[in-house]
């Protein structure tokens, strides 16, 4: 396997010491949520925005206090919006909406293109309402309500894990399944394509491909990638990723793991995350039922050849075999079924490892956190009462850009 240069971006595991991470501090886009639109925009309620920002600031501070460089998506995006090609790409994506019609598309393009870089970045994230559009015209415009969105907001952008994920020294800009989120990938693609911080980085995947989301991708160990298939990631997306990581020498094994197609288990990382090189925190209700198909490359070109697919077998067994360890240790989310279900819903499984045996978790999941501590995992507990209304924990809210390598 080709490992990334330690001075350049790259991630080969879930638990190598975290050096650089991409976050997005929630802002005006969260203020667009109302009881009328929160379901459509994938939130379970209307969060208290100021408190959500306080919680996110504390999360970022916990990372920087432990030596992690925090990159802020909105700041990088504002810098990129000074690049004409990047502006054109994200504006085109913002108006590529059949609701608008040609006249309103042209008017919206003119409005966005007239904004300064920082204002354009804000508009792309927070959205543009009918009454905020300069020069609005056309039939679709006239028939819209005053507060209807010409460009919808992106309140889920704070879950930076989903729209991009690093595998080795390459970044997969993902293809998001839900209509409320599909434009997020256009913004992350612009960052990775045009920001000098990522000059020369190869993109492993793209938003035009089969649905694949970063929350479903776990780097179990160098060369071993697990991909959840369920509500957000399709089998076609898992296969496409497998072919590409094999072709580029980024992995030797991909485990494809079906999960229930429901909101409580929308991604693989809502039921399991790595906290040590050989340990995982997992929702106990699925620990013994989770299955995996083991996918490896055939002898011919991975782009065209039949892949080798074996299984299914229990996920924990398949994972240990692929990782070449005796067993994968499991730490349960909750000690009884009711507590386990509550803490899984509250993102008890969705931890972010800062290093082996050091993980960030929501403070409210007291039983899971106690189990982690008893297993030798130091827990950095953060508040998340408002951040969690979008159904995402510390791992969801972070896209690692650089981690130290761990021993094979």
Contact status, residue 163 vs residue 176, Cβ threshold 8 Å: yes
pLDDT in tens, 234-260: 999 999 999 999 999 999 999 999 997
pLDDT tens digits, residue range 131-185? 999 999 999 999 998 889 999 999 999 999 999 999 999 999 999 988 888 899 9
pLDDT of residue 262: 56
Residue ranges, CATH 3.75.10.10, the chain: 18-74+155-403
SS3 assignment, position 226: strand
Q: Report helix angle 73-80 to 117-126, nearest 10.
A: 130
Which of the residue ranges 172-186, 209-223, 382-396 has the most confident prediction, judged by mean pLDDT? 209-223
Greater pLDDT, 296 or 34: 296
Mean pLDDT for the stretch of residues 1-11: 59
Catalytic residues: 396
Percent of the chain topping pLDDT 90: 69
> Is residue 3 over pLDDT 90?
no
Which part of the chain is CATH 1.10.3930.10?
75-151
pLDDT at 1 over 50: no
- Per DSSP, the three-state class of 360 is strand
- How far is it between the farthest Cα atoms of the chain? 66
Q: Choose which CATH entry (3.40.50.2300, 3.40.50.620, 3.40.50.300, 3.75.10.10) describes domain 18-74+155-403.
A: 3.75.10.10
Which of 3.40.50.2000, 3.40.1210.10, 1.10.3930.10, 2.60.40.1120 would CATH assign to domain 75-151?
Answer: 1.10.3930.10
Nearest to 265 by CA among 329, 341, 331, 207: 341
Q: In Å, what is the CA distance from 112 to each residue of 49, 90, 251, 284?
A: 25, 10, 41, 48
Instruction: Provide the pLDDT confidence category of residue 284 given band limits of 50, 70 and 90.
Output: confident
DSSP annotation of 19 reads E
């Amino acid at each position: 396997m080709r490992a990334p240069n330690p001075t350049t971006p790259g991630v080969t595991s879930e638990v190598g010491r975290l050096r650089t991470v991409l976050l997005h501090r929630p802002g005006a886009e969260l203020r667009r949520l109302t009881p009328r639109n929160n379901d459509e925009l994938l939130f379970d309620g209307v969060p208290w925005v100021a408190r959500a920002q306080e919680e996110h600031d504390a999360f970022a501070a916990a990372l920087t206090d432990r030596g992690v460089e925090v990159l802020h998506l909105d700041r990088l995006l504002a810098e990129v919006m000074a690049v004409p090609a990047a502006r054109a790409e994200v504006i085109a994506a913002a108006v590529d909406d059949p609701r608008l019609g040609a006249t309103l598309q042209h008017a919206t393009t003119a409005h966005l293109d007239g904004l300064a870089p920082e204002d354009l970045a804000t508009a792309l994230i927070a959205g543009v309402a009918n009454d905020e559009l300069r020069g609005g015209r056309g039939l679709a415009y006239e028939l819209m309500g005053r507060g209807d969105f010409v460009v919808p907001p992106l309140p889920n952008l704070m879950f930076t894990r989903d729209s991009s994920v690093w595998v080795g020294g390459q970044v997969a800009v993902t293809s998001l399944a839900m209509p409320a989120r599909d434009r997020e990938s256009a913004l992350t693609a612009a960052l990775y394509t045009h920001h000098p911080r990522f000059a020369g980085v190869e993109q492993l995947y793209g938003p035009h491909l089969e649905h694949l989301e970063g929350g479903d991708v776990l780097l179990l160990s160098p060369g071993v990638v697990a991909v959840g298939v369920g509500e957000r990631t399709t089998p076609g997306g898992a296969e496409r990723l497998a072919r590409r990581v094999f072709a580029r020498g980024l992995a030797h094994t991909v485990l494809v793991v079906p999960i229930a197609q429901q909101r409580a288990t929308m991604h693989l990382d809502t039921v399991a995350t790595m906290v040590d090189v050989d340990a995982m925190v997992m929702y106990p209700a699925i620990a013994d039922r989770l299955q995996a198909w083991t996918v490896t490359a055939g002898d011919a070109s991975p782009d065209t050849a039949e892949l080798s697919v074996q299984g299914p077998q229990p996920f924990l067994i398949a994972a240990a075999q692929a990782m070449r360890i005796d067993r994968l240790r499991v730490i349960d989310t909750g000690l009884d079924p009711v507590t386990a279900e509550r803490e899984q819903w509250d993102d008890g499984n969705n931890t972010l490892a800062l290093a082996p045996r050091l993980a960030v978790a929501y403070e409210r999941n007291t039983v899971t956190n106690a189990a982690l501590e008893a297993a030798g995992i130091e827990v950095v507990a953060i508040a998340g009462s408002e951040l969690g209304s979008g159904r995402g924990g510390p791992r969801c809210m972070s896209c690692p850009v650089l981690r130290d390598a761990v021993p094979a």
